[in-house]
Each structure stands twice: as structure tokens, then as C-alpha cells.
A = this chain, B = another copy of it.
Amino acid sequence: MNQDFQNVRRRFITQWGALGSQWGINRTMAMIHALLLVAERELSTDEVMEELNISRGNANTNLRDLIDWGLVQRMVRPGERREYFAAEKDVWKIFCMVARERKRRETEPAQKVLEACIRDTETDDSPEAREFRRELTALSDFVSLANTVMEKVAAAEQSRVLPRILKVL
């Protein structure tokens, strides 16, 4: 198989991994995702281990995390014990998955913190406490608005939403 092509392919996987760590995603997870994205067929754990030079434990853990994110699916071949893995390739679906997951892990906890802090100072009507509540409420309202937007965007079809949004802007 063409050597140059294989090199570019490997470079893509490595660099995508490096980018991943700038997002809150660990390098290996991003690399496995990249590998599966550009793989022509589903791969087994051993193939992933081999291609990326990582241990079984590492491969297993990160594959499971990718499955939790909804970015990778387990595939069973009839009559085979071994499991194979395939990445979702539709970019819009990937986007929706990531949006949903980040909402769950990031904005919802933030929302809870804000609401709790607002609630716990509710009975205090000193000027400082009022101001504190005012700040936090502004933040909280914004976060929940952002949540609503993300939710609706992620629930809709790409073909419907994006053209409309672009039109509005």
C-alpha cells in the first residue's frame, strides 16, 4: 500500500490526538477516534492496540469512553467472539453527540452550582448578597439559554437548521 498515504494517515491520527488534548479530551481517546474515522472497516481491540502502540487496558478504557460518548459502536460479527469497533462518520451526528455530552458534563453541573448558590443566599438581603445573586442569576440565565439553544440545534436535522441560522446572521 502507498507509503506516502500511510504516512499522512498516521500524521492525521497523531495530530488529531494532540488537538484532542487541547479540548478536554485525552490524547489516546482522540487518536482512537481519528483512527476509526479514517478506517475503511471496523477494527478489533488488538488492531487498535497495534496501530497506536498502546496497551490493552488503555485501548479498552478509551474505546469504552468513546462508546459512552456515542461516537463509537460495538460491532459483532456472526460466529466470532471478538468485538469490532466502528466510528460514527456523519459529521452532523458527531456534532450532536458531542453537544449532548458536553451539555451533560459541563453546562448542567454549572447550572446546578449557580442555582444552589443563589438559593443558599436567598434569605440574606444585605447589599453584598443581593449583588452576588444578581451576578449569578445573570450567569445562570445565560447558561440555561445556551442550553436551550444547544438542545434544539442538536435535536434538529442539519439540513433544516444550518441554512436557517446562516440566513439569520
Majority DSSP secondary structure for residues of A touching B? helix
In the bound complex, CA of A164 to CA of B165 (Å)? 9
In the bound complex, CA of A152 to CA of B89 (Å)? 27
**Does A131 interact with chain B (Cβ within 8 Å)?**
yes
User: With A24-B22, A152-B169, A169-B153 as given contacts, are A113 and B15 in contact (CB-CB < 8 Å)?
Assistant: yes
Contact with B along A71-97 (1 / 0, CB 8 A): 000000000000000000101100100
User: How many residues of chain A are within 8 Å of chain B by beta carbon?
Assistant: 55
In the bound complex, CA of A138 to CA of B152 (Å)? 23
A89: chain B residues at CB < 8 Å are: 135, 138
Among B121, B132, B142, B161, the residue within 8 A (CB) of A95 is B142
CB pair B12–A124 under 8 Å, yes or no, is no
**Does A2 interact with chain B (Cβ within 8 Å)?**
yes
What residues make up the interface of A, taking CB atoms closer than 8 Å to B? 1-2, 4-5, 8-9, 11-12, 15-16, 19, 22-24, 37-38, 40, 89, 91-92, 95, 105-106, 109-110, 113, 117, 120-121, 124, 126, 128-129, 131-132, 135-136, 138-139, 141-142, 145-146, 148-149, 152-153, 156, 161-162, 164-166, 168-169
